[in-house]
């Protein structure tokens, strides 16, 4: 699917288009000896978000969350067309590209009843780095079993008592 944003009010490229150009250049370099610089993309981001300036260190998570917000805003404010100039519905495009979901379950340690199951949607995931050697280790640790204690006041729906649970 090739997507173009059409904004009749300006000839200026949107964040989405600059991001698309940058990703395309990374995947299909015209000249492999050429140095790829994302300066137009970076300058556009800096112009749109308070607190982002040149030559100042920024947190990558803040940058990514701001990028996601700007991409979603571009998609809402512009008409989106495919290569044949036909309108395209991209309501969930950002979630489809950058999003994920985890299934969170809570079970009783006493009766093993699974009391709670819910999907948690995310576009970012903060992983602990302490005591891990790889990305897979980070994901295993993040998705591992967590023991809930009595102080967290989890009530089993089957026992109807406040119990220790496993999340």
- 1 falls in which pLDDT band (50, 70, 90)? very low
pLDDT of the residue at 20? 82
| Mean pLDDT of the region 88-106 | 81
- What percent of the chain is modeled with pLDDT above 70? 87
**pTM of the full structure:** 0.60
Q: Which of 22, 162, 157, 5 is nearest to 85 (CA)?
A: 5
Tell how strand 79-81 and strand 4-6 pair up.
Answer: antiparallel
| Mean pLDDT of the region 49-56 | 75
Residue 14 contacts residue 5 (beta carbons within 8 Å): yes
- 4 falls in which pLDDT band (50, 70, 90)? low
Over the chain, what is the mean pLDDT? 79
The rounded distance, in Å, linking the Cα atoms of 130 and 51 is 30
């Amino acid at each position: 699917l090739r997507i173009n944003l059409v904004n009749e009010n300006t000839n200026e490229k949107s964040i989405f288009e600059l991001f698309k150009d940058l990703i395309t250049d990374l995947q299909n370099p015209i000249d492999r000896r050429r140095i790829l610089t994302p300066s137009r993309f970076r300058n556009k981001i800096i112009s749109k978000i308070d607190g982002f300036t040149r030559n100042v260190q920024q947190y990558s998570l803040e940058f990514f969350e701001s990028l996601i917000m700007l991409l979603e805003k571009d998609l809402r404010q512009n008409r989106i067309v495919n290569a044949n100039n036909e309108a395209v519905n991209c309501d969930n495009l950002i979630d489809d590209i950058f999003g994920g979901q985890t299934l969170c379950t809570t079970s009783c340690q006493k009766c093993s009843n699974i009391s709670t199951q819910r999907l948690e949607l995310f576009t970012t995931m903060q992983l602990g780095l302490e005591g891990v050697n790889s990305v897979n280790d980070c994901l295993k640790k993040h998705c591992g079993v967590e023991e809930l204690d009595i102080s967290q006041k989890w009530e089993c729906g089957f026992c109807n008592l406040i119990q220790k649970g496993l999340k």
